[in-house]
Chains A and B, each alone.
Chain A
């Protein structure tokens, strides 16, 4: 097929897939992924293959996803969350060993299990922020904790992806030298180059789009050349830009590219997966989802209770953190590029994680839709064990404890 025709048709298909997902009430990520599954080489309607144009846009989409993740991230917000965010985020780390163990038990190798653990660990900021807003849950005390944990997860992703990238590249000391060189250059740039960055990005219209895209792509590639994972390089660049005056302008200028390229990225993830294998992986993905949900319930409730939420709020925190989406697929894409994972293992990992993401987003939509009933039912047995007096004072305790940590009051 003519590459341009392929591109046009892919965009059209993605538009329809996104529209259908919104009609059904799930994240459009699921629609893009399913479209890739169904229309890919292993799908029911094998129309598309991952050709030059689709791969190019998919790679750009991966970089822009991480760049925008970095753009939204800020150390200041993390610090503002304080001890509560740190405690809740640390408890949430329990997902890593549990998912790694499950992957190992399912017969995956060391590398595949490690990528599976990271993929399953990271919740979907996009899906969660949208559901919290749409379902009017944003003012619940546990929503604040949930959004804080998402920032914590982003922070964990940087060293974890960096480490995995380095190990996958052979883990040699020479490679470490390149990684260190990139990090040193980055830190120097952040320390001394911010004036230069502001001047570079202080433009508008086509100049800003061209300079911005070139910056994202070339900085990421520069990292890649030095053996530094390009996705993490894009994230770090986003973090740097987020502190500059140009942040809002650049974010707005690149948004159309981000929307289109990220959609193609999710589609391309679907193209890589054999639809039949994904279908066969559904029972296994359901098992994985059960384990993740159980782990999330334990960690969420522990984190909630340890940081002053009521029983109901703690179960609410667990439910809120459940959706896995775009970043899980990002980790899957990085796993697919790892030479240590044999092709048969890669195929089953891709099938498992794709099915898992779809199931998790659907389950989350259902749970968020009945949020009050679900959290009431889950927390009722526990609330009986506490005296009614204590339960009634939970909010007051939260309010006073949180007021107490305000540095200005």
Chain B
């Protein structure tokens, strides 16, 4: 068989109208085929050595597939948690912080909130419904339902998040 140091070969095929199929020969013999459907459902098929018919089928929905992937390989991609999406940029952090219901900040302007003075973090944009207010001015006022895009060091963004969430 093949050199066991080489990475496993995966063959990819499009199944028109159904999705994608990935087939990987196993070093212990046999194959595993994974079918990915457009709706995210995955099916895993196990083929024994010298068999062209699967001996077992496993169907997982997107959530379960993510869990199985996490269990199979720690280094694989983790599901992005959109509630606390952090992007590391050379020590800088970007965070999305929604204004809580009934926040005191609603109606206040960016200047009067003194967010940067109090926490060190800057508000670089306000996400409002489907639109965004980039580079808000000091006289831009907050509205209910706004999400603030803030930038700063980890300590600064943490402080800003705490301040906003307590408002």
Binds A, one of B12-20, B91-99, B111-119, B155-163: B12-20
Q: Is the CB of A399 within 8 A of B31?
A: yes
Rounded to whole angstroms, the CA-CA distance of A151 and B17 in the bound complex is: 10
* Total residue contacts A-B, CB cutoff 8 A: 74
Residues of B within 8 A of A (CB): 9, 11, 13-18, 21, 23, 25, 31, 33, 35, 37, 43, 45, 47, 50-54, 57
A72 touches B52 (CB 8 A): no
Among listed A31-39, A128-136, A191-199, A269-277, interface-contacting one: A128-136
Q: Is the interface of B mostly helix, strand, loop or mixed?
A: strand
Which listed residue, B13, B18, B52, touches A395 by the CB 8 Å rule?
Answer: B52
Task: Count how many chain A residues have C-beta atoms less than 8 Å from C-beta atoms of the other chain.
Answer: 36
Q: Which of A136, A147, A313, A395 is within 8 Å of B17, CB to CB?
A: A147
Beta-carbon contacts under 8 Å, A359-409 to B: 372, 392-396, 398-399, 402-403, 406, 409
Cα distance A12–B23 in the bound complex, in angstroms: 44
Using A144-B21, A395-B47, A403-B9 as known contacts, say yes or no to A138 and B15 having CB atoms under 8 A apart.
yes
B15 lies within 8 A of A310 (CB): no
Q: Which residues of A contact B37 (CB under 8 A)?
A: 133
- Flag if B52 contacts A138 (CB, 8 Å): no
Contacts of B17 in A (CB 8 A): 72, 125, 129, 147, 150
Knowing A139-B35, A139-B45, A395-B47 are in contact, say whether A80-B14 is a contact too (CB < 8 A). Answer: yes
Is the pair B25, A399 in contact by a Cβ cutoff of 8 Å? yes
CB-CB under 8 A from A151, the residues of chain B are 16
Smallest distance from the beta carbon of B28 to chain A beta carbons, Å?
A: 15
- Known A72-B16, A392-B50; 9 more pairs at CB < 8 Å: A72-B17, A73-B16, A138-B15, A139-B33, A139-B45, A144-B21, A372-B53, A394-B52, A399-B25
Residue of A nearest to B38 (CB): A248
Q: How far is the CA of A409 from the CA of B24 in the complex (A)?
A: 14
Which residues of chain B come closer than 8 Å to A352, judged between CB atoms?
A: none
Does the CB pair A399–B23 fall under 8 Å? yes
Q: Mark A111-143, 1 if CB is under 8 A from B, else 0.
A: 000000000000001000100110010111101
With a cutoff of 8 Å between Cβ atoms, the chain A residues found around residue B35 in the complex are 138-139
Of chain B, the residue at the smallest CB distance from A395 is: B52
Q: Tell me whether B9 and A409 are in contact (CB under 8 A).
A: yes
Q: How far is the CA of A150 from the CA of B33 in the complex (A)?
A: 22
For chain A, residues 91 to 118, give those with C-beta under 8 angstroms from any C-beta of chain B: none
Name which residue of chain A comes closest to B33, CB basis: A139
Residue of A nearest to B31 (CB): A399
Given A72-B17, A150-B16, also A140-B23 (CB < 8 A): no
A61 within 8 A of B: no
Chain B residues whose CB sits within 8 angstroms of the CB of A313 once the complex forms: 52
B11 & A406 in contact (Cβ 8 Å cutoff)? yes
Task: Give the nearest-CB partner of B41 in chain A.
Answer: A133
Measured between C-beta atoms, what is the minimum distance from A393 to chain B in Å?
7
Other-chain contact of A77, B11, B16, B54 (Cβ < 8 Å)? B16
